[in-house]
Homo-oligomer: A and B are copies of this chain.
Amino acid sequence: MVPRYSRPEMTAIWTPEARFRIWFEIEAHATDALAELGVVPKDAAEALWAWWRTDPAIDVPAIDAIEAVTKHDVIAFLTWVADNVGDQARFMHQGMTSSDVLDTCLAVQLARAADILLTDLDALLAVLKRRAIEHKMTPTIGRSHGIHAEPVTFGLKLAQAYAEFARCRARLVAARADIATCAISGAVGTFANIDPSVEEHVAAKLGLTVEPVSTQVIPRDRHAMFFATLGVIASSIERLATEVRHLQRTEVLEAEEYFSPGQKGSSAMPHKRNPVLTENLTGLARMVRGYVTPALENVALWHERDISHSSVERYIGPDATITLDFALARLTGVIDKLLVYPERMDKNLNKMGGLVHSQRVLLALTQAGVSREDSYRLVQRNAMKVWESDGQLSLLDLLKADPEVTAALSPAQLEEKFDLGYHLKHVDTIFARVFG
């Protein structure tokens, strides 16, 4: 966790205090269920909640000090609770194993983290939609391979991003469901010492589903899928960030990250206005992706479990969710305040001397009966002249002057092929598909 790439709400999920609070709730709900079954006295469960209602501070250093002796975190916690609650606390954790607490707690933490990320995605989607509609009909050049292709609109670029993040949202909903399970099944998952109804009770109280079959631990394919999904979302962030970085290049400059008055782009070069936020997002995406493989390697635990996954999750649980939360919020801010320059888009669009319309001419020639091969040759030989003139020559002028072309198409027919509106006639259709 890097403080400068962290936001408080997400970070709070991963504090020791938060973890201990969830542990307590799991233990206390389980004790309720055990009391209901008659396994432990009802007043044992009540004693726990009575203490909890006093809103006790979690004394993390005290718990850590106990762990330093026992070398076991859950036992340390139980000991500390017993020190506070008194004798009745001894009925806590009956028939349970540490992983019942640890894995169910992780499920709660990841589910909460997913909820924040879903909220982040909603905010991003809202901003993307607003700005997409704002620039629905702002023409700009579409580029393949970094080379001018044909006109699109800036709104279309954002609509694409909207559709992509909407998919990411659906994937995260599925990934959340995958990890939001509760296991209270004992040392090897057989419920030997605890009735399955305890698990059902705790699951219901914590908003989780029941893990159908656990083996001391909740199976890690669930977590692997969760972190893999975060890696996909991070890659989509990188895609949109890369788009902004390209648009802000000196020679392109069709859009810019918002540049605040006090900001300095460079200690040496005062004119610099750099796309540092989106470059930063590119780096953050690398990190979130980097956490995918350790999560995948965590799946193949030995037999009913080994603990190798635990250290990995102490890193990537916080790091992946905190980083992605920050990145989504940063991207939302970038898009929200993005400076968009339609005049520059228009200037760039026209700088190639009309080359972007070459395909329409190609099609028109074909439809006028010229063979596809000949049509291609005719367009290409004129296009290449425009290309080599760096946009000083006009494709339309050259075509009008090419007798082989004019034998098939009249000047008026040629002119009609250079109409920008032609390219934008289905923008409504696409927007309807994306935004409904």
A160 at interface by CB-CB < 8 Å: yes
Q: A163-B219, A171-B178, A212-B433 are known; give 12 further A-B pairs, CB within 8 A.
A: A4-B314, A90-B372, A147-B273, A190-B424, A190-B426, A191-B426, A212-B434, A249-B249, A250-B351, A253-B390, A284-B311, A286-B312
Once the chains bind, are A213 and B160 in contact (CB under 8 Å)?
Answer: yes
Chain B residues whose C-beta falls within 8 Å of the C-beta of A265 in the assembled complex: 72, 147
**Stretch from A117-125, A227-235, A405-413 that touches the partner:** A227-235
Instruction: Report A225 CB to chain B, min CB distance, Å.
Output: 5
Check B213–A159 contact: CB distance below 8 A: yes
Which residues of A, 250-283, contact B by the 8 Å Cβ criterion? 250-253, 260, 262-276, 279-280, 282-283
Assess whether A272 is in contact with B429, with CB atoms less than 8 Å apart. no
Whether A359 is near chain B, meaning CB under 8 Å from some CB there, is: yes
Pair A430/B213 contact, Cβ less than 8 Å: yes
| B167→A213 contact, CB < 8 A | no
Q: Does A30 contact B (CB under 8 A)?
A: no
Task: List, in ascending order, chain B residues with CB within 8 A of A221's CB.
Answer: 164, 167-168, 232, 235-236, 239
Question: What chain B residues lie within 8 Å of A141 (beta carbons)?
Answer: 250
Q: Which residue of B lies closest to A384 (CB)?
A: B271
Main SS at interface, chain A = helix
**A42 on interface, CB distance cutoff 8 Å:** no
A324 to chain B, nearest CB (A): 13
Would you call B152 and A188 a contact (CB within 8 A)? Answer: yes
A33 within 8 A of B: no
For the complex, give the distance between the alpha carbons of A380 and B434 in Å.
43
A292 B294 Cβ-Cβ under 8 A: no
| A366, CB-defined interface residue at 8 Å | yes
Distance, CA A270 to CA B238, complexed state (A): 31
Distance of A215 Cα from B359 Cα, bound (Å): 16
CB distance A70 to B271 under 8 Å?
no
> Which residues of A (124-162) have their CB < 8 Å from a CB of B?
141-152, 156-157, 159-160
B294→A193 contact, CB < 8 A: no
Pairwise interchain contact A192-B292, C-beta atoms closer than 8 A: no
From known contacts A146-B249, A150-B188, A190-B150, infer whether A72 and B433 are also in contact, taking CB-CB under 8 Å: no
Q: Is A176 interfacial (CB-CB < 8 Å)?
A: no
Query: Which of A18-26, A49-57, A240-248 binds B?
Result: A240-248
A362/B268 in contact, CB under 8 A? yes
Decide yes or no whether A352 CB sits under 8 A from chain B.
Answer: yes
Q: Is the pair A289, B294 in contact by a Cβ cutoff of 8 Å?
A: yes
* Cross-chain contact B4 with A1 (CB below 8 angstroms): no
**28 residue pairs bridging A and B, Cβ less than 8 Å apart:** A70-B264, A82-B372, A90-B371, A95-B268, A98-B267, A142-B188, A142-B190, A142-B303, A144-B187, A144-B306, A145-B302, A146-B250, A149-B266, A156-B189, A156-B190, A156-B213, A167-B221, A192-B426, A212-B433, A221-B235, A236-B299, A241-B300, A249-B252, A279-B307, A283-B310, A284-B311, A286-B298, A287-B311
Which of A82, A148, A301, A372 is most buried by chain B, counting CB atoms within 10 A of its CB? A372
